[in-house]
């Protein structure tokens, strides 16, 4: 009943708790180029829980700041509006999705470790490319959230998902192809439905939707989409965490050419990746 599966996924996504109104407001005001740190502070301050989590992240080893930052405005000035927006968004989404009870087919710890690895590697790629500092956390957030479509597949169709993983294993094919064949919808499409339900747009939504279809992507966020695709390939190939994909697709050489990051560079980053995952694991501890 393929159509029925898609309906179940749609129903599950509709029933998911929506993002806090504060986060929607944060997204809205950050889309205005005239937004100042004070504007952003006023909105986040309306949600003391979110504010506490953002300050906890800012003061974690992930940023390695010399002195404790207690003022959100000061943090926004130091890190930039865009970084704080991505922190607020990532924490809110993890809050909604990092619930252990739903993980039936995939192992939750393995799934989030994979996601952290993809975030960390996407950010390292951005640094290697010389992307400006205030955009680095957009690469991280896109990598961290790229596989969120697996959560409804896992939770609403857990038996079917176990079968999809079995098919991927037996036929040595990537998990997204096995999902499509056995469930009729893959995690990129399911993730895109979540992005739509939560009014996410821009680079994060594009990375969620196109990280397995880089060749079809024609939007303006190609650098992030490609960085996440390469980071996903690296995490699966190295077996860091577990995303259900033991046989990732090899990426066409032009992805590396367009990214201007040599494929050989991926062989040199293992130690940096391990250290960054350790620092970034704070994201999973803020629930």
**Around Cβ 173, how many Cβ atoms within 10 Å?**
17
Given this model, what pLDDT does residue 201 score? 84
Given this model, what pLDDT does residue 236 score? 96
Query: Is the pLDDT reported for residue 30 higher than 80?
Result: yes
pLDDT in tens, 127-169: 999 999 989 999 999 999 999 999 999 999 999 999 999 999 9
The better pLDDT of the pair 112, 1 is held by: 112
Given this model, what pLDDT does residue 286 score? 74
CA 106 to chain centre: 17
pLDDT in tens, 92-111: 999 888 776 667 788 889 99
Structure tokens at 52: 């506490």
Query: Is the pLDDT reported for residue 250 higher than 70?
Result: yes
pLDDT in tens, 205-242: 999 999 999 988 999 999 999 999 999 999 999 999 99
Given this model, what pLDDT does residue 23 score? 92
pTM of the model: 0.95
pLDDT in tens, 167-213: 999 999 999 999 999 999 999 999 999 999 998 989 999 999 999 99
Given this model, what pLDDT does residue 287 score? 62
| Averaged pLDDT for residues 231-255 | 94
**CA neighbours closer than 13 Å in the CB half-sphere of residue 125:** 35
Domains detected in the chain: 2-17+100-285 (1.10.3210.10)
Query: Is the pLDDT reported for residue 1 higher than 60?
Result: no
Query: Is the pLDDT reported for residue 2 higher than 80?
Result: no
pLDDT band at 278 (very low <50, low <70, confident <90, very high): very high
> CA 129, CA 5: separation in Å to the nearest integer?
41
């Amino acid at each position: 009943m393929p159509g029925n599966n898609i309906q179940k996924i749609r129903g599950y996504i509709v029933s998911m708790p929506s993002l806090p109104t504060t986060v929607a407001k944060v997204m809205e005001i950050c889309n205005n180029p005239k937004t100042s740190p004070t504007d952003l502070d006023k909105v986040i301050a309306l949600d003391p829980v979110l504010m506490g989590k953002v300050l906890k992240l800012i003061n974690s080893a992930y940023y390695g700041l010399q002195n404790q930052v207690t003022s959100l405005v000061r943090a926004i000035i130091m890190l930039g509006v865009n970084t704080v927006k991505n922190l607020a968004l990532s924490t809110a989404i993890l809050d909604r999705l990092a619930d252990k009870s739903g993980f039936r087919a995939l192992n939750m710890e393995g799934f989030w470790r994979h996601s952290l690895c993809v975030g960390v590697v996407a950010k390292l790629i951005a640094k290697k490319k010389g992307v400006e500092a205030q955009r680095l956390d957009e690469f991280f957030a896109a990598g961290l959230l790229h596989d969120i479509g697996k959560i409804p597949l896992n939770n609403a169709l857990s038996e079917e998902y176990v079968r999809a993983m079995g098919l991927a294993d037996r036929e040595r094919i990537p998990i997204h192809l096995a999902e499509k064949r056995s469930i009729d919808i893959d995690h990129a499409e399911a993730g895109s439905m979540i992005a739509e339900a939560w009014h996410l747009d821009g680079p994060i939504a594009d990375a969620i939707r196109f990280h397995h279809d880089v060749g079809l992507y024609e939007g303006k966020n190609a650098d992030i989409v490609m960085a996440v695709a390469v980071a996903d390939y690296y995490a699966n190939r190295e077996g860091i965490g577990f995303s259900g994909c033991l046989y990732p697709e090899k990426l066409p050489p032009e992805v590396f050419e367009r990214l201007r990051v040599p494929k050989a560079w991926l062989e040199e980053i293992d130690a940096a990746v391990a250290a960054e995952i350790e620092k970034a694991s704070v994201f999973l501890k803020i629930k």
